[in-house]
Structure formats: C-alpha cells, structure tokens
C-alpha cells in the first residue's frame, strides 16, 4: 500500500527495487538508453499507482466456469495531459496501461524577462471537464509550471478532485507551494528530495530530465 507523508500526497513504497531504479537514473554516468529504460519502469509504477486511486463501482461478472465473480469497474473516463516537453516522456507509460487513452498537452516556459512561467500553448480534449485527468511532469521543483498547468485544467472545467499529478521526483517546497493552491489535487510521486539548490534544481535530483531522456 502507498504511504501518505502529506495529505493527498501518495509516495510509492520505498522498496529496494524502486530505490535501485532511482539509483540508476540519478547516476550521471548512466547512458541515455539505460536512463530511458529505467525511467520508463518508474513511470509505469506511477501510472499504476494513480489508477489505484480512481473511483470504482461494484461489478459482478460470470466466468468461463459459470461462476459469479464480485469485481469492480472504473467510474468515468480518463485522459493524460503532459507538460511539454519532459511530461511527454510519461505518455507511453499511460498508454501501456490504458488503451486508446486521450492525451492533451500544455506548453509552459519561463519568461526570460520576468523569470516566471508563461503559458505558450494548450491542446486538450473537448470533453476534458468530464474526465479524470492524469497531469504528467517528471519533476516538481518550485511548482510554478505545475500550478499554471493545473489552473489551465480548472479553467477548462476540470474539478480539482479529478486531477492526479504524477511525477518522479518532487521537493517538499514544491509540494507545499502546490498544495497551498490546490489542496484537493492528488499528487503521486516516487521520491521526495531534500530540497532545491540556488538554481532551483532538485537536490540530489538527477539533472534536467528532458535533456537526459530526449538528447543524445
């Protein structure tokens, strides 16, 4: 089962397997193919954990042995929304678990004049207000981009309690900033780092996730 170090924040069980995976992707000497492979494994675990928290309803089916099975089915449709570009690395993990899932995209970049996040582009499913949304971004540092993306979703009619923010690594500062604005959004993460350096990078972190995932 997941632990909850903070309200509405779900941390993956810190098993030896998970710590081993993070050891590989944090290592600066890990090759790009290995970084992608092991990051994808963690992403799959995050998606599976996010699915664990979706609401379900009872469903009784009949098996091939003519017996009844008391099971359940998910309530409502889901979609993924990636914060471009690093968040796009998490899309395949969601597709691997949810067939034909809809994917939206939000592009947020830092304004060089103000050093604040700025919305450049959004493309979301027309019926997103009626779906449960997995917001995808590997890193939560200060929380600026995630908060802006979440605000975009809410303005499109998505209820905060229907949003699940999935990330590989976050900081306590980022969690506090994000939850102060969106306490009803669920955060699913695999690691909570000790803090941020003077450049607002996660420490110990792993560097720039997007560069390590996409650049040779």
Q: Which residues are identified as catalytic?
A: 110, 114, 208, 211
Place of tokens 């990051």: 39
The interaxial angle of helices 32-52 and 16-26, nearest 10 deg, is 140
Q: How far apart are CA 156 and CA 158, in angstroms?
A: 6
3-state secondary structure of 49: helix
Joined together, the tokens standing for residue 72 give 């359940």
- Rounded to 5°, the CA angle 200-201-206 comes to 175
Task: List C-alpha distances in Å: 198 to 110, 118, 127, 128, 203.
Answer: 17, 21, 41, 37, 10
């Amino acid at each position: 089962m997941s632990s909850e170090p903070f309200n509405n924040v779900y941390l993956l069980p810190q098993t030896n397997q998970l710590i081993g995976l993070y050891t590989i992707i944090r290592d600066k000497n890990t090759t790009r193919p290995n970084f992608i492979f092991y990051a994808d494994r963690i992403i799959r675990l995050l998606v599976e954990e996010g699915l664990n928290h979706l609401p379900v309803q009872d469903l009784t089916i009949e098996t091939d042995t003519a017996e009844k099975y008391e099971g359940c089915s998910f309530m409502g449709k889901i979609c993924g929304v990636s914060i471009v570009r690093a968040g796009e690395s998490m899309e395949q993990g969601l597709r691997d678990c949810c067939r034909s899932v809809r994917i939206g995209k939000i592009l947020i970049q830092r304004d060089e004049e103000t050093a604040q996040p700025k919305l450049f582009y959004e493309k979301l499913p027309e019926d997103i207000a009626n779906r449960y949304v997995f917001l995808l971004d590997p890193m939560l540092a200060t929380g600026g981009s995630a908060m802006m993306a979440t605000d975009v979703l809410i303005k499109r009619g998505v209820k905060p309690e229907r949003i699940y923010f999935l990330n590989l690594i976050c900081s306590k500062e980022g969690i506090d900033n994000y939850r102060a604005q969106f306490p009803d959004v669920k955060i699913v993460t695999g690691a909570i780092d000790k803090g941020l350096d003077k450049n607002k990078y996660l420490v110990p972190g792993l560097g720039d996730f997007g560069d390590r995932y996409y650049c040779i």
